[in-house]
Structures are given as structure tokens and as C-alpha cells.
Chain A
């Protein structure tokens, strides 16, 4: 029987894993399963089409970084910088992740079903990062655009030096410099509702706090 899924397993290096994937992509395979690869970094990076990846186990840094269209489902945990600099596509992690989830995101959705560390969505330029859990400090630093949604608590310096974009927090948080709270508009609630139902998250958007940038602009100071 011919299977449509490319299995990548028991590899010692990121290069081995990614070259197996590259071979599969060149042969027009669309479904991949990656497992038993230790905690390797930089796996399934820079994929430029809408293929589907299932990753099982514990993974290292930069999983799904520079993704450009793929749907990546991680059944397990990732360390730092999951989805770093992603342009397009979707990454869903069932467990928790380390620092820097969605750093420098340009587009697409990153969903973390567990908790995330520091620096969530720093330098976000237009993507969506949704954490169904708690996160730590300095989320949204230098964020230009896009959304960060945290259903649990966020730490200190939330939205520090934001320039644009929006952060929504369901629990407690400490505001960073140049961030302020704003009223949830109907379109905010609809946006969150749609995301929550899409990713099967049980949360009430009306109880969220919206955070936007305050009046200081870099270089100019206060407007």
C-alpha cells in the first residue's frame, strides 16, 4: 500500500530532517510526519507552500521559522522562537513553548495551547499569536502591527515600546512603557470569537483587556 505521508524519524541533525522534507516537497508530497528527532533546532523552516506537517515530541529552537505557507501542527513542546519571522501559514503547538514565540512575525497564525515564556510577539509586523495559557514578560516589544492574544496572565512590560498593533489579555498583566489599555470594540470581540472557535479555545472575549500603543514615538518623544 502506498502512503501519502512522508515519515521523517530517528534523525540526528536538523540538516538530515530538512533534507528528507525537501526531497518530499520536490516530489510533490503534501503531508509529513516528523518524530523521534531529539530536540533539534530549525526544523521545518522556510517551507514555501501549503503542505501539512505533524511534529510529535519535544523540539528545539526556531521550529517553523520563516514559514511561508505551511500548516505545522506540533503535538508536544517547542523551545524558543517558534515561528520566528514567519510570513504565511499556521503553527499550532499542543504544549508549551519557550521564549520569543512568534518573534518578528510578518503574517499567518501561531497558536500555543500551553504556556509561553518571555518575549512573545516581539517585533510583530502583522501576524497573529494566540496563547491559550500564561506568558511571561516583555511581550509585544517594538511591535509594529498584528495581534497578540493571551487567554491567561501576562507578565511585566506587556506591550513595552509598542509602535502599532494590538495585544489582548484575558488575565492579569503589567503594562510596559508606551502601552495603554483601551475599550474592547465590537470588532475586537468578533475577531477574538472567530479565532477562539477556529482553534477550539474556551474563553470569553468580552472579559479581555485590549492594549494599544500610547503616545510616545521613537525619535520624536511625546506626540
Chain B
């Protein structure tokens, strides 16, 4: 299990379990999302607190999640560690994803 998905009202909390979220983990993550999110909740908080390292394949899986949620959906990312933040900045995707320090902060962002 790469991601644990739980519901808090209308917000799905997706907790990535891997400390290394990379090309080896991304397919399982996408499969977990397809089971837990597709066609369901439109507001998602993604908790990356445990993730010490992430690569561009995992980042691609997050882009796929964003597209899955669509225009009416809302996604915020919590707990990105320095190496993960660096990846978002290098790829300019820090302008696309909403990054929050904590899960409660991210939940507030998706609830608007």
C-alpha cells in the first residue's frame, strides 16, 4: 500500500506511506488513487510528510491526480520536505500545486 486514503467530510486525505516516492512507487500510487478517488471526492489533501525523496515520475502521478480531479476539484499538498519542495520549484510546479505546511492548513485551502 503506497497511499492510505481516508475521508474527513467531503475531503479525502491521501497519505503517501513511502519515504522514497519514485518511479518504482508511482504505479502503485496511481492504482491506489484509481480505487480510492476516481469518480469520488473532488477535494483532496495529499500528505507528503513521510516522503524524504521524490522524483519526476512521482511528480507526474501528482499531475495525473490534479487532472483526475478536474476543474471543479481542489487539491492541496501538505508537509513537503526540503528535497520535495526543491523538485516542485525546479519544475515550476510550485505555481500549479498548492503547498501547505500541515494537513490542517491544506484542508483549509481545499475547503476554500
Q: Tell me whether A and B are bound partners.
A: no
* Residues of B that sit less than 8 Å from A by CB: none
